[in-house]
Amino acid sequence: MKMKSLAGRRVAVAAGLVLALGCGVSVQASATVPKTEACSQKVLEVSAVKEPVNSRDARHLLLTVQNAGEKACILYRYPLVRLGADARTTVPVIKESDPDPGVPVTLAPGREAYAALLVSGGARDEYEAKSITLGLQGRKPGSTAGKPIDVPMPADTLYADDGQLVTYWTTASGLALDFIMSK
């Protein structure tokens, strides 16, 4: 009996050491893993192009952001877009355009993400917009990440109206455009 008892104690002590060392290693490893932060104007290059590219007017735009930083960053939900200096509100989002509801887009260095923008959805209260401003959302709903970004204009003037819409961020440009090209 003494042999079994002694062997059992050794196994229990060895198992405890393995468990303790295992916990120590996992705690140490998790402490050294860098936390991915929200993308900000500091690391993104931004552009806007007409879709289709050869169209006469700039009614449908593809907004592109590229991570020019050295670390991955996260894009939450959709861009907060304002057309023109006098825009009263941000452009409403097409709710069904979220490709993976609730999951943010992780943007590795050098990679791109897209959102499509419908500048005018009809002839209601049309106005001239000479600027596009893009804001990024933070992790918590209602929060922002970084400062607003002035987007280079794809035309001298955009003719916008109250039918504007924007899509959620996605890594597939075609998916974003699908939601606005038929409108």
Look up the pTM and report it.
0.80
- Mind listing the pLDDT tens digit for each residue in 127-141? 999 999 999 999 998
Q: Phi and psi of 5, rounded to 5°?
A: -65, -45
Mean pLDDT of the chain: 84
- Mind listing the pLDDT tens digit for each residue in 56-79? 889 999 999 999 999 999 999 999
Cα atoms found within 13 Å of the Cα of residue 69, Cβ hemisphere only: 18
Say which residues have a Cβ less than 8 Å from residue 134's Cβ, sequence separation at least 6: 46, 63, 79, 80, 81, 148, 149, 151
- Mind listing the pLDDT tens digit for each residue in 29-61? 334 445 789 999 999 999 999 999 888 889 999
Handedness of CA 113, 94, 52, 132 (dihedral sign): negative
pLDDT at residue 28, as a whole number: 34
Span 101-112, mean pLDDT?
96
Between 130 and 23, residue with greater pLDDT: 130
Say which residues have a Cβ less than 8 Å from residue 19's Cβ, sequence separation at least 6: none
